[in-house]
């Protein structure tokens, strides 16, 4: 699918928030927000959060703007952002996951955290290993639910949340199963 538009189910976002990821954070960046599925769940848990979001597809953006967020239509990599955020939550287009992460890391406050939702095969392989050596995750949450994004029950991949602290953690990555 062009731009990898898949909506993130609420229970997937719940599994991140149950871990205490937001923990009093004031500001959130969602860099490729789609219709705002992640944001909707965050605002249910933490209605006080100040959210900034970007989305490249006009038809998704037109739904996103109904949420109480500062929303930008366009390519995230062209967006001139002159501030930083306490938290980033992202279900990225998997084809440029590292690129999304690097730009989001730049836009995260010191003391902040980032969470990316990915397929478990993206935890290994040469390119991914180099990436994780450069940016060591503080935690990986492996999910027992296997959401089917393709709508045909063929999407049998495992999924997880990868969480980073900024600056990067100096402890070993903690792996949890939920």
Ligand X SMILES: C[S@@+](CC[C@H](N)C(=O)[O-])C[C@H]1O[C@@H](n2cnc3c(N)ncnc32)[C@H](O)[C@@H]1O
When the beta carbons of 30 and 165 are compared against ligand X, the nearer one is 30
Task: Single out the residue of 42, 69, 88, 93 in contact with ligand X (rule: CB under 6 A).
Answer: 93
- Answer for which of 18, 59, 75, 168 binds ligand X (CB under 6 A) is 75
Going through the chain in order, the beta strands assigned E by DSSP cover: 27-30, 50-55, 70-73, 85-90, 108-119, 139-142, 159-165, 174-177
Based on the shown chain and the rule CB under 6 A, indicate whether residue 116 belongs to the binding site for ligand X.
no
Stretch that binds ligand X, among 3-11, 41-49, 104-112, 118-126 (CB under 6 A): 3-11
With H, G, I as helix, E, B as strand and everything else as coil, classify residue 85: strand
Please, which residues bridge with residue 52 across strands? 29, 70
Q: Is 91 in the site for ligand X (CB under 6 A)?
A: yes
Window 144 to 173, contacts with ligand X (CB under 6 A):
none
Pick from 29, 60, 122, 139 the residue near ligand X by CB under 6 A.
Answer: 60
- In this structure, the strands spanning 159-165 and 139-142 are antiparallel
The gap between the terminal CA atoms of the chain, to the nearest Å, is: 29
- Minimum CB distance to ligand X smaller for 111 or for 121: 121
Sheet (strand 139-142) strand order? 70-73, 50-55, 27-30, 85-90, 108-119, 159-165, 139-142, 174-177
Query: Of residues 28, 38, 118, 143, which one binds ligand X by CB under 6 A?
Result: 38
Q: How far apart are CB 169 and ligand X at their closest, in Å?
A: 25
Residue 66 touching ligand X (CB under 6 A)? no
Structure tokens that stand for 163 in this block: 């969480």
Binding site for ligand X (CB under 6 A): 3-8, 32-34, 37-38, 54-57, 60, 75-77, 91, 93
């Amino acid at each position: 699918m062009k731009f990898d538009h898949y909506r993130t189910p609420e229970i997937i976002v719940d599994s991140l928030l149950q871990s205490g990821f937001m923990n009093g954070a004031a500001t959130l960046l969602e860099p490729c927000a789609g219709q705002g599925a992640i944001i909707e769940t965050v605002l249910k848990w933490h209605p006080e959060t100040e959210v900034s979001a970007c989305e490249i597809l006009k038809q998704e953006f037109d739904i996103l703007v109904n949420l109480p967020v500062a929303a930008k239509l366009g390519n995230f990599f062209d967006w001139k952002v002159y501030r930083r955020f306490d938290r980033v939550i992202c279900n990225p287009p998997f084809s440029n996951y590292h690129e999304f992460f690097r730009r989001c890391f730049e836009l995260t406050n010191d003391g902040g955290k980032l969470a990316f939702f990915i397929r478990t095969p993206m935890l290994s392989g040469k390119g991914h290993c180099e990436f994780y050596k450069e940016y060591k995750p503080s935690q990986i949450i492996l999910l027992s639910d296997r959401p089917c994004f393709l709508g045909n029950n063929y999407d049998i991949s495992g999924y997880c949340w990868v969480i980073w602290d900024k600056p990067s953690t100096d402890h070993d990555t903690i792996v949890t199963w939920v």
